Amino acid sequence: MEREEEVDTNYLLRALEPDYKVVLVGDARMAMYELMARYGAIYYYQRNETPGIVWLERFAQHFTHSVWLNPEPPHYWEHPTVHVITNLFPMFRLTLDGIDDAVKKLIVKR
């Protein structure tokens, strides 16, 4: 990703209203330290003092409608970090049926 394509996460949390529909996409399978530790980013030079889980918690707390789309089959979801993330976001498979279910979840009030 080019540097000019990046958007500061704090900016998103300040600028976007809580009722925005948020869709996160990824397999959610990472080393536990990448999610839980300070400087845990997979990229060595990305020196983020705030652990990734804290950012995800901030998103989950700020946005009232959010889901996670996972491209991996559910039998790969038996991974510690996937379980941590599913405690924050409803997770759906990145398939047509999964997207349909995720959209239904996004349009229903909590």
Q: For residue 69, is it within any domain?
A: yes
Distances (CA, A) of 96 to 79, 100, 101: 23, 6, 9
Rounded distance, CA 105 to CA 110, Å? 9
What is the number of structural domains in the chain?
A: 1
- What pLDDT shows up at residue 3? 59
The kind and range of the H/E element at 66 are strand 65-70
Q: Domain range for residue 37?
A: 20-107
18 membership: H or E segment, kind and range: none
Q: How confident is the model at residue 7 (pLDDT cuts 50, 70, 90)?
A: confident
Domain for residue 50, yes or no? yes
pLDDT band at 1 (very low <50, low <70, confident <90, very high): very low
Residue 98 inside a domain? The answer is yes
pLDDT digit string, tens, across residues 46-83: 677 888 899 999 999 999 999 999 999 999 999 999 99
pLDDT band at 99 (very low <50, low <70, confident <90, very high): very high
